[in-house]
Amino acid sequence: MIGRLAVRTGWAVAAVAAAAWLALVEAFWLPLRAGAVPIPLSVLAAVAGNLLLVPLAHRLSGSRAVAVLPGVVWLAVALGATVRRPEGDLVLVGGGVTGGVGLAFLLFGVVAAAFAVGRVLAAPVRPAPTGSGSGGAR
């Protein structure tokens, strides 16, 4: 029992760390440009990351609660990028082309996380395996 709890806790910590790192990197990719053309790489990474990280956390930990954590942490970090720091720095700005990419980043990232969490929570619960696992009853 304690071993299973330790494994779930370990996967929960790994899922939270991966989601936080992913959101932070994506937020700093928001102003990415090729000349004057904005490249919405952060939007694509947010969608792909949230669609992959949530079911991966569920598969590795076996816990639906752990599967919800990456989406929640991603949203917290992404919203934290919208807050101006005391020094005046602002990562996710609200105006111009960069503001449009930032809005798409938040919108599509949250929708992808919600979709992935919904798929995990709506899936049927697998029964715990019983028996010795040898395949035959004697």
Q: What is the pLDDT along the chain (138 residues), one digit of tens a residue?
A: 678 888 888 988 999 999 999 999 999 998 888 988 888 899 999 999 999 999 999 998 888 999 999 999 999 999 998 888 888 888 888 778 888 888 999 999 999 999 999 999 998 877 766 766 666 655
Give the global pTM.
0.83
- Of 62, 61, 40, 58, which Cα lies nearest the Cα of 50? 58
- Of 43, 61, 27, 25, which Cα lies nearest the Cα of 105? 43
**Rounded to an integer, what distance in angstroms lies between the CA atom of residue 131 and that of residue 9?**
26
Element (H, E) at 133: none
| 124, amino acid identity | P
Q: What are the angstrom distances between the C-alpha of 28 and each of 8, 71, 100? A: 30, 18, 15
CB count in 10 Å sphere of residue 19: 26
